[in-house]
Amino acid sequence: MTDTDVTGAAVDLEVPETVEQARVGFRAWMTEHGAELEQFRRTGGEVAEIFERLRLLQRMLFDAGWIRLGWPTEMGGLGGAPILRSIISEELAAAGYPPPFSFATQEVLGPAVAEFARPELAAHVLPRLLSGQETWCQGFSEPGAGSDLASLRLKAVAVEGGWRVSGEKIWTSWAQLADRCVLLARTGAVDSGHRGISAFLLDMDTPGITVSLLRSMNGDDEFCSLFFDNVFIPEDRLLGEPDGGWAVTMHVLAGERGAAAWQRQIWLRSRLDDLAATGGVDDEVLGESYELLMALRVLSRRTVRALSAGDPVGSTTSLDKLAMSTAEKFLFDAALSGAADEVVLGSTETGSDGAWRNDYLYSRASSIYGGAAEIQRNIIAERLLGLPR
Ligand SMILES: Cc1cc2nc3c(=O)[nH]c(=O)nc-3n(C[C@H](O)[C@H](O)[C@H](O)COP(=O)(O)OP(=O)(O)OC[C@H]3O[C@@H](n4cnc5c(N)ncnc54)[C@H](O)[C@@H]3O)c2cc1C
C-alpha cells in the first residue's frame, strides 16, 4: 500500500454537521452495503483470524470515509467534530456487526499522538492507524509499576540523534501484532517520579525488542512482556517534551477511561440483549444490569462530549471507568447465574462458540486495566470529593 492509498484518497462523503446527520447517513450506507458487510457479522475464531477479518471491515469504513470523520484533515481525517466518531461503533453494534479490532486503540492512543507528535509524524502514522493498515500497543506497565506508574524504570538515555532504551514492559496488549508502541520511559533520575518520564512512538520492528507472549485466563495470548536491549529511538519519535511524558500519559488515560468506556457500553448493551434472549435470567437482575449500563452511558456521554469540545475532563473519567467495570462485572455475573452451562463449560449448544465463557472471564479484567478499581476510587475520593489521602 502506498502513502496516497491511506492519506490522499478522496471520498464522496460530505462531513455531517450534527451527530444525528452522521447517524442517519451511516445507517443508510450500511443498508446500501449490506451484502458486502454480511461477512463481518460472524464472530469467533482464532485471534489472528478475527484480527484480519476486522481489519478488512476497518479498511472498508475508512475508504468510505466514516472512520475519518472527526479527525483532522492533515492527519488523514475528513475534519468535523470529534464527537462524530462516537456513533460509528454504536450503529455497527445496533446493526449486529462487531467493532473493528483497533477502534479502542484509535480512541485511546490516537488522540494523544495527534496532540503530542510532531505534525509530520502524526500525518504519517494516523492515517495508517485509522485505516487498519497498522495497529499500535501501549507500553506503560512494568513489573512493579502498574498502579504506581510514576515509578516506572525502563531507562532511556539520550544519545546522538535520539535515545537508547533498556528495560522491560509487561501486560502490553496485542504487542505481537503491533507495528508501533506508545512507550513510556524514564529520562530523568531514578527518583524523579512523574517529572522524569518521556513518551515515544516506537516502531516495533526496531532491533533489540523481544516480544514474549503471556496467556490470559480466557486462553487468548493477549498480553506480552517486552524486553528492550539498547533499542534506538530517533529524536523525532518523542511525543511532547523531554521529561514531559506525564502529560501524554494523562491524555492516554483520559481516552482509556473515558472514550473507551463509551465504546464498551455499546458492546455491553448488545450482550445484555443477548442475555435477555436466553430467557435464563430474572427480569429484576436484567433490570439492574440495564440501570448500571444506562448510568455508564450517561457518564461516558458527558465525557465524550467534553473531549469533543476540547474541555478538560480531569479526574471525572475515573467515574466512567469505575461505572464501566461495575456494569461489566454485574452483567457477566448475571450470565453466570442464568446461563451457567454456557459460562462454566463454554457450551456451544446455542451456537455461542464459548463466547459467554470468554466474556465472563474477560470481565474480571475490567476492574484492572486502565487503572484498577481501587485506584479509581482513590482518585474519586481525593480529587473529586476532596477527602484526605
Ligand atoms: C486485560 C488487561 C489489559 C492490559 N493492557 C495493558 C496494556 O496494553 N499496556 C499496559 O501498559 N498495561 C496494560 N495492562 C496492565 C494494567 O494497566 C495494570 O494491570 C494495572 O494498572 C494494575 O497494575 P498491576 O497489575 O501492576 O497491579 P498492582 O499495581 O500491583 O495492584 C495490585 C492490587 O493492589 C491494589 N493497589 C495498588 N496500589 C493501591 C493503592 N495505592 N491503594 C489501594 N489499592 C492499591 C490494586 O488496586 C490491585 O488490586 C493491562 C491489564 C489488563 C488486565
- Give the pLDDT confidence score for residue 64 in this predicted structure: 96
CB-neighbour burial class of residue 165 (10 A; exposed 0-12, middle 13-18, buried 19+): buried
Amino acid at 244: G
Mean pLDDT of the chain: 92
The residues that are catalytic are 256
Q: What is the pLDDT of residue 352?
A: 60
Point out the domain boundary residue: 243, 262, 289: 243
Q: What is the mean pLDDT of residues 134-147?
A: 96
Span 242-271, pLDDT tens digits: 999 999 999 999 988 888 899 899 999 999
Per-residue pLDDT of 210-232, as tens digits, reads 999 999 988 888 899 999 999 99
pLDDT of residue 358: 87
**Grid cell locating 227:** 524486553
Instruction: Determine the Cα–Cα distance for residues 85 and 78; give it in Å rounded to an integer.
Output: 11
pLDDT exceeds cutoff 70 at 129: yes
Same domain? For 87 and 182 the reply is: no
Supply the range of the domain harboring residue 221. 137-243
Task: Check whether 30 has a pLDDT greater than 60.
Answer: yes
- In angstroms, the CA 202 to CA 169 distance is 13
Per-residue cell: 120: 509530520
What is the pLDDT at residue 63? Answer: 95
Residues 268 and 369 in one domain: yes
Identity (one letter) of the amino acid at 254?
Answer: A
CA of 323 to the centre of ligand 1 (A): 17
372 lines ligand 1 (CB under 6 A): yes
**Which of 36-50, 56-70, 166-180, 326-340 is least confident?**
36-50
- The residue contributing the CA closest to ligand 1 atom 16 is 369
pLDDT at 73 over 70: yes
Q: What is the pLDDT of residue 351?
A: 54
What number is the average pLDDT over the span 120-145? 96
Query: Which one-letter amino acid corresponds to residue 172?
Result: T
Q: SS3 of 214, please?
A: strand
Q: Is the CB of 140 under 6 A from ligand 1?
A: yes
**2 has pLDDT over 80:** no
Ligand 1 atom closest to 173 (CA): 8
How many domains in the chain?
Answer: 3
pLDDT band at 4 (very low <50, low <70, confident <90, very high): very low
Question: Are 186 and 257 part of one and the same domain?
Answer: no
Q: How far is the CA of 379 from the centre of ligand 1 (A)?
A: 15
- Least Cα distance to 235 among 180, 161, 164 occurs for 161
* Distance from residue 77's CA to the centre of ligand 1 (Å): 33
Residues 6 or more apart from 11 whose CB is under 8 A from it?
A: 63, 64, 65, 68, 78
Given the CA of residue 144, which atom of ligand 1 is nearest to it?
26
What 3-state class would DSSP assign to 100? coil
Helices and strands: H and E segment counts in the chain: 15, 8
Asked if pLDDT for residue 72 goes beyond 90, the answer is: yes
| Nearest CA residue ID for atom 25, ligand 1 | 146
d(CA 219, CA 221): 7
pTM of the model: 0.94
From the alpha carbon of 137, which atom of ligand 1 is closest?
8
Element of type H or E holding 213: strand 209-214
Residue 3: pLDDT above 50? no
- 197 - beta bridge partners? 186, 244
Q: What is the DSSP code (8-state) at residue 224? A: E
E strand or H helix at 60: helix 47-63
The CATH number of the domain where 237 resides is what?
Answer: 2.40.110.10
Domain at 266, CATH number: 1.20.140.10
228 ligand 1 Cβ < 6 A: no
Do 115 and 158 fall into the same domain?
no
84-107 tens-digit pLDDT: 999 998 899 889 888 777 788 899
Q: How far is the CA of 356 from the centre of ligand 1 (A)?
A: 24
| Whether 49 and 179 share a structural domain | no
For a mutational test of ligand 1's pocket, the pick from 171, 182, 256, 358, i.e. the residue with the most ligand atoms closer than 8 A to its C-beta, is 171
Of 107, 134, 161, which residue constitutes the final position of a domain? Answer: 134
The answer to whether residues 169 and 188 touch, using CB atoms and an 8 Å cutoff, is no
At 51-60, the pLDDT tens digits run: 888 899 999 9
The answer to whether position 389 is within a domain reads no
Task: Assess whether 206 and 301 both reside in one domain.
Answer: no
Task: Report which secondary-structure segment, H or E, holds 269.
Answer: helix 260-278
Q: Which of 191, 216, 243 is the last residue of a domain?
A: 243
Q: Is 60 in the pocket of ligand 1 (CB under 6 A)?
A: no
pLDDT in the model for residue 78: 96
Least confident of 18-32, 43-57, 161-175, 240-254: 43-57
Q: From the CB of 362, is ligand 1 less than 6 Å away?
A: no
Percent of the chain's residues with pLDDT above 70: 95
Over the stretch 270-314, which tens digit does the pLDDT of each residue have? Answer: 999 999 998 889 999 999 999 999 999 999 999 999 999 999 898
378 lines ligand 1 (CB under 6 A): yes
Tell me if 372 is assigned to some domain: yes
Residue 9 reports pLDDT greater than 80: no
Beta strands in the chain (DSSP E): 136-139, 155-159, 162-169, 180-186, 197-203, 209-214, 223-234, 238-239
